[in-house]
Amino acid sequence: MHMTKTIPTMLTGMVLLGISQSATAQNDTDKHFHGIYLGSEIGSQNLFGGALINGADILTEDKRFVASGFIGARYQFESGLVLGFEGQVGATDGDLTFSDTAQGLTIGYENNSQSAYGLTLGYAFGEHKDWLLFAYGLETSRDFDVTITGPLGTGTQNDNQGMVRYGVGLEKAIGSGLHIRAAVGSLAADFGDTNTNIDVEGKLEATIGILFQF
């Protein structure tokens, strides 16, 4: 299964370079969301695996636990507007199974990691601008090892996935560079002209995390 990436690498690289160069340019106590940050988060995301069988993509999906580490850089303007770039590496509980007893078909999909990169856009508010309402768009990659067992025997495939995860979140600076954040979102995957047995779009994800803003 091949899906088209929608966040250009060149654009995100240019944003990261610009933010990194200016990350230490300001020293304002109300600029809590400015510079490099590092953190981790846990949550529930929608994982799905695919196997190409007779021209159809046989999918199965489930809500699974995901733990991620992330690093990012962002620029907080005087107006409170915040523009940033973020990269993530995550561990997933991604072993899934599809079974069709009528056809004697069993498919196992094995995954334990994912990576993501993308942009964040937010607005800092409050008396000291220590709250941040933000939106994110992350180009996410997952690889599944697929084992297909059917009437004709057993075979293997690789399912290399790319999709956009997007959503909104709320972050709070709680002192000495320490922040907490929570987010909810969904995903968009493009299967092109390939027939699929289910629709995986529009599934809710939710995460909560902690980070340190340098």
For the chain, list the domains and their CATH numbers.
9-94+110-142+159-213 (2.40.160.20)
Q: Which element (helix H / strand E) includes 19?
A: helix 9-22
Alpha carbons 69 and 197: distance in angstroms, whole number: 33
Which amino acid, one-letter code, is at 2? Answer: H
Q: Please, what is the Cα angle at 35 between 29 and 38, to 5 degrees?
A: 110
Residue 187 Cα distances to 9, 49, 109, 137, 180, angstroms: 19, 14, 19, 9, 23
pLDDT at 7: 46
Cβ-based neighbours of 197, under 8 Å, separated by 6 or more: 56, 57, 58, 59
Q: Which residues of the chain have pLDDT under 70?
A: 1-29, 201-202
pLDDT at 55: 86
pLDDT at 6: 47
pLDDT at 119: 98
> Are the beta carbons of 184 and 168 closer than 8 angstroms?
yes
pLDDT at 206: 97
Residues in the chain, overall count: 214
Dig out the tokens for 100 from the structure.
């069709």
> Are the beta carbons of 143 and 94 closer than 8 angstroms?
no
Which amino acid, one-letter code, is at 162? Answer: G
